[in-house]
Each structure stands twice: as C-alpha cells, then as structure tokens.
Structure 1
C-alpha cells in the first residue's frame, strides 16, 4: 500500500515455494528482468479483466432482460451474483495458491473468465446465463484475492507503485467496459450477445503472460533480499482470533456496505438513467465516469489516509458525496446526470479506503492477511442482498423512489462503521485481550 503502510507490507513472509525456486533455479540478471517485465504485464492485463464482466452487463442489462425474458427480481439476482461468487470462491484462493502456486491460479482464473464471457451470451436461458456468469466471476474472485498477494511477494520494495498500477488498471478496465460496450455493440450489428462476448478477447490476452508460471509453484521476487520472514526479525507470528476484534467487525461491515453500494451502482445506475430518458450510450458513459473516478483517487486516498491518525473523516466525506448523489438521482436524474455520476464515483472510492485500513489496523503481515480474509469474505457476504433488494423494490413499486431510499439508508451505517473502523488501534491488541 502507500506511504506509511509500505513498511508493513514489505515485511510479508516470503513463501516456501518462492524460496525453493530460488534455490533450485538460479537466475541471471537478464532472466530476472524478463520475469519482472512479464509479471508487470500479467498484473496489468489481469487487473483490466477484473470488472468488465460486471460493468458490460450493467450497460446492456435491459437488452439482456428482454432477450432472456428476465423479470426485475431475476435481474436483481443477477446483480447479486458477483458478491456471492467473490465471497464463496475468494475464500478458496489462498488454499489453491498454496497447492498450485499463485501464478498458476491466476492463469486458470483468466481462462475461466474467458470461457465464462464467451459462453454466457449464447447460453440461451437464464439458468445457463447465470452459470456461465458464475464461471467468469469465479475466475475474477480468485484473481481478485491473489493479485495483492502477488504484488507483495514479487515486488516487496515497490508495493506502493505496483498497487497504484494495479488499482489504476482495474479502474480503467471497469470504466472502459461501461463506456464502450453500448457503442461497440451497435458497431458490431446491435446484438447484445456479441457486445458481451467480445470482452472474452481481452481475458484471453490476459492468459498468455501467466503461462510461464503455471509449471512452477513460484517465481523469483524482483528483489528477493528485501523480503524477509517475520521470525528473522524476532517477530514470531501470533495466532489471532479476529472475530473477537470490534475493529475487525467494523471494517468487515464497512467493506460490505461499500461493496453493496458499488454493485448496486454497477448493476443498476445505467438503468436508472435510461428510465429517466437518458440514451443508452450516454447512460453507459455516465457509469464510465463514475468508475473512472477510481483511477486518480486510488492514488490519493491511501496517501492521505496513512498520514492521518483517524480515517473516519475520509469515510464521512465519501458518505456525504454518496448521499448528495442519491438525492440528485431522486429529484433530477436526467437534468444533473453528470454531477450525480461524479459524486457517486467519489463515494465509491470507499473501496481503496477499506483496503488501506486493512493494512493499518494490523501490525504484522500475518495479522494483515487474517484481517483481509475476514473483512473481505464477511463483507462480500453482507453485500449480497443489496442488489437483489433493489431489483425487487424496482419491480414491485414500478419506479426508483424506494430503491434510492434503500441506497440512501445504507449509506448512513456505512459512514458510522467507517468512523469506528478508522480509529487508531490494531486487531492484535483487541483479539489478544
């Protein structure tokens, strides 16, 4: 992460598989440089593919619903599938990485994304569409969990810059899919199947850089001398019961509520604008504006957060932007559409804040790993009902008043738990009392 967190992150324990590969496969500086460049390319391409499966569907949700005869409630189920898959399959990622190596798992994840994106438009039924979507989201889930791990393992002295590059690529992929899916679909003949399937090409390209890492459980870190095991510094790992920590629970709830807001935005915001009379292509651009706000703010927010003793004020400021954006969607969705898209884009940057606080609320690398697994898995589980409820309320009320009221109501507790999670304390202190 950025700033003061870098010192914590650079102390991540080097995996046994990495140390073994170093001992058994001595490398020359040119080989190490080639490996580093290939990993950077792989990280960027993988990050680009972690959201287009979701935002491209949001841009064409109305066409997909009509094509498959899907009700509003079923569409709500569809928008709840991403957090469900992230919660269920993301938990499997560390175990798979220990067995097969993180590079091999990410390569398999990119292949799953490719297959899912290629199959789902032509499944011919709602269950088939959901199954193929789940396959793609499974690949996203394991890659989503392992990408920060890979950055810490192979770039221990460049965690901040590589995390920034990864975050920028993720936001860029998210925004690009939202912006170009509708016009690209029209250019390719107007078929929503083609408009969704074309993103499989980007995922297929992301498979290639990871193929060299499939046959070995690890690869060399860029600077192996800087990654030292914790026990070498006299810091034995401590077994934590994270569930005893109030800060861990506050962070998990904060993560879940911000994820709820993000997936409601990605799944439903274009439809809100289209129902207000905004053209489909413009609605996609508005979602792209919301998503692209994460590119610059992913750099700024972690830097600011690590310099503050309490991150609660940032959570409050982001929440206020969200409340203002929801108010605009309720009273004048079309007239101020660009302003509401910007405000909601700022509000959705609670995600990098949550990741930053994960690193700041634990003292050791082991503590960060435990807290991250708990906060993300619990948070994604908590985020599942939100998009589904929006679909149900939209179908039964016939408008967006009640769904927007739900979004507004969820923002209040998000701000409150953000203040609690932002207090200057660590889970080690709370979980060992």
Structure 2
C-alpha cells in the first residue's frame, strides 16, 4: 500500500537535496520518488510510536502501582500526565518547526520517546517514573501536532488518504502494545520493567527515516498552484493566486486563531475525545479486571478497543474529506460510545467483547479530529497554527478527566460514578463536533 501511495504522490514532493541544473533533469524524479517513500515510512513509524508508551502502561498499571507503591489517586495523576504534557509541549511545536523544520523536530521527538521509554521503568520511584514519562510524552506531543502539518505540506492533495494511513498506523501501534505487553512481560521473566522498556526499540527504529530530512529547514513543500486544498471538500483549489499562496506559506503570518469559532469548537472536541481515549487506555483494562476478567483477557479487550481504529482510522478520514459536513460521523461515533459505556455500567463482564468493540469505534473520533484540522485551514501554515491551538487547548481540557476518574474510583469503591461521568461528557462532545464539522475555514473566520 505504501509503495503504491508513494508512487502516486511522488510527483508532488520536492527533492530533499539542492541539485545543480545539469543533474536536475536526470536525478530529480528518482530522488523525489525515494524521498516520498522514505517520508511515508517515517510517518508510519512515527505513528506507531505515539501510543505504546500509554497503552503498555495501562496493561501493567496494577503491577506498576504495586511496584512503586501508588495509590489510586496517584495512578489517576499518572493517567493525566499524557494530556498535560501534550498541552504544555504541543504548543511549542509550531515555533520549533519554523526554526528547525518539522522533520527535525519529529526526529528529535522520536529520540525523546526512545530515551524516556528506556529509562522510566528503572527509576525506582514515582517521581522518577513521572519525569521519564514526561520526556517520552514531550516527544509524542510535538509529533502529534506536526503530523498534520507534514501531511498538509508534502501531500496537500492526499490529506484524507495520508491522514488515514497515519491514523491507521497509530491505532495499530496502540492495539499491539495493549495486546502483547502482558504476554511479552511474562516471556521476559515477569518483570514489568522489561515489559515497558522493550518498547523503546520501536522508537529507535523510527529515528532512522527522518535523518535525511533533518537539515531541510527551508525545503519547499508540495503546496503548489493547483494542488487540492484540504479545506475544500469538493477538491477545488483555494481561489488565491500562486504568488500569494507561496507568500502565505513562507512568511506564515499568524492568524488570530482565537477569533475563530470553528477553532474553539475543534479544540473542545479534541479535548473531550482525548478525555475518553485516555480514560479508556489508562483504566479500561482495570475495569474489566475488577469485574472478574483475567488480566490477560483484559489486555486483549483493551487491544480490541484499540485495534478497531486500524481499519476505521483509514476509512473515516477518506469519508470525511468527501462530505461537506462531518457532523453525521461525529454523531455516529458518539452513539457508539454511549452504548459502550452503558454496557460497562450494566454488565461489564458478560458483554465485555461487545463493549470493547463499541468503545473502539467511538475512539475513532481522534482521526476524525485530525482530518478536520487539515480541512479547516487552506495552507500548511494555517494547519500548523490550528493544530497547535486545537491540540494544546484540547489536551488542557482533557487533563482533569483521567485524574477525576481515579479519584472517583478510589473514593466510591467502584466504577459506577466514573462511567457515569464519561457517559455525560459524550453529549457536549457530539455538540461541538457538529459545530467543528461545518464547511468553513479558520482564515475566513479570523479575518471576519
């Protein structure tokens, strides 16, 4: 699939090297194809690394709590660290990308992920574990924000398919980590430290494809005249002269993004779906274990929830880019979430596979949100600013959720109140998702 996609898109990607005029005609097509394929590999490997740090911990949360002496409230704080780091570090990603180039920042992010995953199991303290987790999550945060930027810049006429590929790889990494962490830990001698540290190897592999792009701070993108605008669902180019588009991309004047109602709706939607996702990744396996489901099966159920994102994360962005309004998809995903939480409340063990399936469908709000980020702005500069604003603000909104779930769980002695909270949050999520799905761009709203 990647080879076909790369060959189709090689005509839109510019060479990563500066060539003399004599070499231009003979070597540029081959170099473009090579660069495109390598970039696609880098995007896929990056996506695979963006969730194992979280879902592997969710699968072993009970063992980590026992090993480090954590209370339920502290464990809730641990599950709130990801959105906190994504909010704090994600907002710096656009500025870092302007200074060093997005590829260099993503490469540094992969280094941070690998280092943090290797160190954190062996810190032997809760504070050290949190600090090393923060290093890993810093790398994830900047990569989260810059993936839509890279897709918009190098693949402007393939936003749906490339976002789908990236989201599918992200879901695959999430599901695999959830499914194999427990059995892999047992195969490594039963040490939870080894079971968590092994995922650093995937981060090391993801560094390699980005190295040739690190020095391309001023590399031209594929945003050429005639390229399809992701903000136009019917595929029409933005009605803007080529020179003005180039100037907008290079000079990158800052939008007054806070004046856009769509940007705020997208930020709140991002925050509420992130709340549900991180509660699921951090606590769902524990919900099933408390209901009498064996630990290995609980890990598989979490994997089922995550693996639903593999096919749907590829289908939903492609479908979303073909619709003038993404509201119907928002509603369908929200209804699946309501049904899944109702099942967890009424019969968590009896219908566990069905609830895991429904919540997995609901969690595909994440690739939909990423797709809408690419569709609600005309240029890669606008996408960078919208992505940074929506993700950083959204993750700030999501911080209290996992922590509050841990507190409610500890003080109520059960899961009724936490599940009730998550069910209630789905209603405003659907409302703001419908508002964010309207066919408009943040540039128009910010200038109005």
Give me the TM-score of the superposition, normalised by structure 2. Answer: 0.86
Further displaced range: 67-76 or 299-308: 299-308
Please say if 1:202 is aligned against 2:202.
yes
Alpha-carbon distance in 1 for matches of 2:20, 2:409:
59
Please say if 1:106 is aligned against 2:116.
no
Q: 1:281 to 1:264 in 2, by over 3 A?
A: same
Alpha-carbon distance in 2 for matches of 1:215, 1:317:
43
Alpha-carbon distance in 2 for matches of 1:427, 1:208:
35
Report what 1:336 is aligned to: 351
- Cα distance per residue 1:217-254 (max 9 Å; x no partner): 36676897877996525557475322122222222111
1:149 CA drift (Å): 2.1
Please say if 1:327 is aligned against 2:337.
no
Report what 1:259 is aligned to: 274
- Cα distance per residue 1:31-60 (max 9 Å; x no partner): 333333322222221111111000000000
Alpha-carbon distance in 2 for matches of 1:38, 1:116:
25
Alpha-carbon distance in 2 for matches of 1:223, 1:424:
21
How many corresponding residue pairs? Answer: 419
Alpha-carbon distance in 1 for matches of 2:441, 2:155:
25
Q: 1:415 to 1:215 in 2, by over 3 A?
A: closer
Report what 1:247 is aligned to: 262
Alpha-carbon distance in 1 for matches of 2:125, 2:209:
34
Please say if 1:419 is aligned against 2:434.
yes
Report what 2:182 is aligned to: 182
Q: 1:20 to 1:196 in 2, by over 3 A?
A: closer
SS at match of 1:67: helix
Q: 1:231 to 1:70 in 2, by over 3 A?
A: farther
Alpha-carbon distance in 1 for matches of 2:377, 2:40:
28
Alpha-carbon distance in 2 for matches of 1:399, 1:365:
46
Q: Which of 330, 345, 360 lines up with 2:360 in the alignment? A: 345
Runs of 4+ in 1 over 6 A off after TM superposition: 23-26, 222-230
Alignment of 1:41-56 (within 5 A): 41-56=41-56
- Cα distance per residue 1:101-135 (max 9 Å; x no partner): 22222221111111100100000000000000000
SS at match of 2:34: helix
Alignment of 1:144-183 (within 5 A): 144-183=144-183
Report what 2:413 is aligned to: 398
Q: 1:78 to 1:332 in 2, by over 3 A?
A: same
Alpha-carbon distance in 2 for matches of 1:245, 1:220:
28
Further displaced range: 312-321 or 419-428: 419-428
Q: 1:244 to 1:84 in 2, by over 3 A?
A: same
Q: 1:36 to 1:382 in 2, by over 3 A?
A: same
Report what 2:6 is aligned to: none
Unmatched runs of 5 consecutive residues or more in structure 2: 1-11, 229-237
CA RMSD, 1 decimal: 2.7
Further displaced range: 124-133 or 96-105: 96-105
Q: 1:147 to 1:329 in 2, by over 3 A?
A: same
